[in-house]
Amino acid sequence: MTSVNLVYFAWVRERIGRDEETLELPDSVVTAGDLLAHLKTLGDEYEAALEHENVIRVAINHEHVEHDEKIAGAREIALFPPMTGG
Amino acid sequence: MAPVKVRVQRDDFELAAEVQALLAGRHDIGAVVTFSGLCRDEAGTLSALELEHYPGMAEAEIRRICEEAVGRFSLQAATAIHRYGKIAPGENIVLVVTASPHRQAAFDGANFIMDFLKTAAPFWKKEHAADGSTRGWVSAKDEDDSARDRWTKD
């Protein structure tokens, strides 16, 4: 088991119902994509937030990553929708 | 490396003051382009935009974008300021200032920074309607992705 800090933004945050949490992840969770799949098993709120998995953006330690990126060593993993600033 | 100034703040900014700060003590700059993005009222139906951001990453990502623009267009300086919080129609949201010896690089640099800022800087807009209701989160637009992708075509 590895402990990881997760932060959520915009409608991902609203649907999950919290803006951050620390979770213990099983060793089978290797990539960002694995993390999304694992979270969806944790409850309806995660299922609702991550329903359209391919639109969810992932950042590790403040940098964008693809879903196949390995999460080992991550201090902070952020999940959020496509960005709409500017 | 040309100076890059990035700020993410709740408060408004002053265009003239930012241009003046960027030009202070410089005699080598021939062109300055400023872009500012404002909140529209959408024909009177919108009362405010609420901008959420990812503190820390927002600054880091805008800095990465500005530094790439400085390298790619040989800019002499770049400033980018993005606001967060509740912003009313007519108020500023974002400012980009670029400087170069000749105009084209400054125009291209500002364009590049805005195209990547819209699609890669972690900010999200929520709309508040004039009737007091919440219209929800603004959806990302395909044309913003296309605008960004034109910079990666050969």
Give the residue-averaged pLDDT of A44-58. Answer: 96
* Residue B154 counted as domain residue: no
Per-residue pLDDT tens digits for B31-71: 999 999 999 999 999 999 999 999 999 999 999 999 999 99
Residue A9 within a domain: yes
Contacts of A59 in chain B (CB under 8 A): 54, 57, 122
Q: How far is B140 from chain A (nearest CA, A)?
A: 6
Please check whether residue A85 lies inside any domain of the structure. Answer: no
Asked, for residue A86, whether it belongs to a domain, the answer is no
A2 or B137, higher pLDDT: B137
Which pLDDT tens digit goes with each residue over A6-50?
999 999 999 999 999 999 999 999 999 999 999 999 999 999 999
Residue type present at position B74: S
The domain total for chain B is 1
CB contact under 8 A, A83 and B37: no
**Sites in chain B below the pLDDT cut of 50:** none
Domain count, chain A: 1
Q: Residue B105's domain spans which residues?
A: 4-149
Cβ-defined contact of B37 to A78 (cutoff 8 Å): no
Name the residue type at position B129. Answer: A
Q: What are the strands, taking DSSP E only, across B3-154?
A: 4-9, 31-38, 46-53, 77-83, 85-87, 92-100, 123-129, 134-137
Look at residue B116 and give its three-state secondary structure.
helix
The CATH number of residue A76's host domain is: 3.10.20.30
Instruction: Please give the pLDDT value at position B154.
Output: 61
Number of A to B CB contacts under 8 A, please give it: 73
The 10 Å CB-count burial string (b at 16+, else e) for B125-141 is bbbbeeeeeeeebbebe
d(CA B113, CA B116): 5
Which residues on chain B are in Cβ contact (under 8 Å) with A7?
A: 54
Buried b / exposed e across B37-57, counting CB within 10 Å, b at 16+?
Answer: bebeeeeeebbbbebbbbeeb
Please tell me the number of Cα atoms within 13 Å of B154 on its side-chain side. 0
Q: Please tell me the predicted confidence (pLDDT) of residue B149.
A: 93
- CB A83 to CB B124 under 8 A? yes
In chain B, what residues touch A9 (CB-CB under 8 Å)? 52, 54, 122, 124
Residue of chain A minimizing CA distance to B62? A86
CB B112 within 8 A of CB B62: no
Q: A64 to chain B: which residues are within 8 Å by CB?
A: 61, 120
Is A57 inside any structural domain?
Answer: yes
Looking at residue A64, its pLDDT comes to: 98
Domain that holds residue A27: 2-80
Residue B27 falls inside a structural domain: yes
Nearest residue to A5 (alpha-carbon basis) of A28, A27, A18, A24: A24
CB contact under 8 Å between A10 and B140, yes or no, is no
Q: Residue B84 belongs to a domain with what CATH number?
A: 3.90.1170.40
Rounded Cα–Cα distance for residues A35 and B29 (Å): 49
Of B111, B125, B104, B148, nearest in space to B35 by CA: B111
